[in-house]
Amino acid sequence: MGSRLTIAGRELAGLRAEKTILLAIGIQLFIAAFSSFLVVGLVSMYDPGALDAAEIEVAASGDAVDGLERAAAEVPSVGVTTYADVGAAKRAFDRNAADAVVVADRVDAGDGGGERIAVRVTAPDATVETTVLVVQLREVLRAYELDERRDRAAYLDESPLPLPERTGSSPYFTFTYTVLIPVLVFLPVFISGSLVVDSITEEIDEGTLELLRVAPVTLGEIVDGKALAAVAIAPAQALLWLLLLRANGTPVANVPSILALMTALTALVVALAVALSALAPDRRAAQFLYSIGVLALFGGATAMDGGPANAVARLAIDSADVTTTALVVTYVAIAAVAYVGVRRIVAENGFDR
């Protein structure tokens, strides 16, 4: 065990020279330390509808504009000014007196379909302001549709397809627990695997791996030492990020279970990194294959109901059930089997150039 710890210590000491890794860790540290401030700006990109304070002015025209005004009154921060014709509304838009133009007209549906309302919207070219504007207008048009459904319900022979119910969750809560926390938990996992790929392929390229084997250590012990260093730093980083989130007022439940899950995933990714280093000792090729493998692994897992990101989110908000706990145990078992299998193959066959 002493030789493994010595090699692990050597690997950790060498991290000071890895500027890319240190930069990645520094970025994560910044995000976690200032999460309470950053989350506001990040949510504005994740969910522009969260910016309820954005005031917009709409120039409206058409013979169905009265319903549009009624709907806009239900949406905060949206004002509607009615114009006699479309030309006047567009002139107001051109001189920046309005942020958008909405024309609502009643049209004949044809074939005995009765009357429908056609709405045409003119908005600025694609900018950040346009994104917020479109989100606010979407809320107005949604309210307009609901009003028309209620008004026409008595004249319908069949009930129309119901709209999905709105969720009352805060976009800040959703973003924090479904995006921010999983990102901070899993980035160290990817970094650890990349470290192993770099470490092994660099040893092979520079010929220092053979020098290590001259020492009284086996190839298996060398791999164990490198893997131990990579696996150890991942939960240490994640624990620091979660503690910083708590310090910023974001409670995170089941921290030990989250760390157990991400440690298992780190071991699984490290096993993948060791296997790829054995198959492709060239550093660039190994890093390319590692990136593709990690994307495929986590992409496929994310598509599952019990994917790692979903499990971390449920654990963090303390809504985990027996299935989530079973998934954590399963990931631990898979990681252990994968690493032991890869380690045995490498110990027996070595790293062939």
More confident site: 322 or 160: 322
Q: Assess whether pLDDT exceeds 80 at residue 57.
A: yes
Confidence label for 280 from pLDDT (cuts 50, 70 and 90): confident
Express each pLDDT in 225-255 by its tens digit: 888 888 888 888 888 888 888 887 788 888 8
CA atoms within 13 A on the CB side of 144: 20
Task: Specify whether the CB–CB gap between 89 and 106 falls below 8 A.
Answer: no
Averaged pLDDT for residues 248-264: 88
Task: Specify whether the CB–CB gap between 136 and 54 falls below 8 A.
Answer: yes
Express each pLDDT in 164-203 by its tens digit: 665 555 566 777 777 788 888 888 888 888 888 888 887 7
Averaged pLDDT for residues 318-334: 86
More confident site: 254 or 53: 254
Q: Where along the chain do its domains lie?
A: 2-33+170-349, 50-155
Confidence label for 351 from pLDDT (cuts 50, 70 and 90): low
Largest distance between two CA atoms of the chain? 91
Averaged pLDDT for residues 299-310: 74
> What pLDDT is stored for residue 306 in this prediction?
67
Looking at every residue in the chain, the average pLDDT score rounds to 77
DSSP structure class, residue 101 = E
Q: Assess whether pLDDT exceeds 70 at residue 77.
A: yes
Tell me how far apart the alpha carbons of residues 323 and 335 are, in angstroms, rounded to a whole number: 18
Q: Assess whether pLDDT exceeds 80 at residue 214.
A: no
| CATH number attached to the domain at 50-155 | 3.40.190
Q: Assess whether pLDDT exceeds 70 at residue 1.
A: no
> What pLDDT is stored for residue 263 in this prediction?
92
> What pLDDT is stored for residue 333 in this prediction?
92
> What pLDDT is stored for residue 213 in this prediction?
61
**262 contact partners, CB below 8 Å, separation of at least 6:** 185, 186, 188, 189, 234, 235, 238, 308, 312
Nearest to 277 by CA among 349, 170, 186: 349
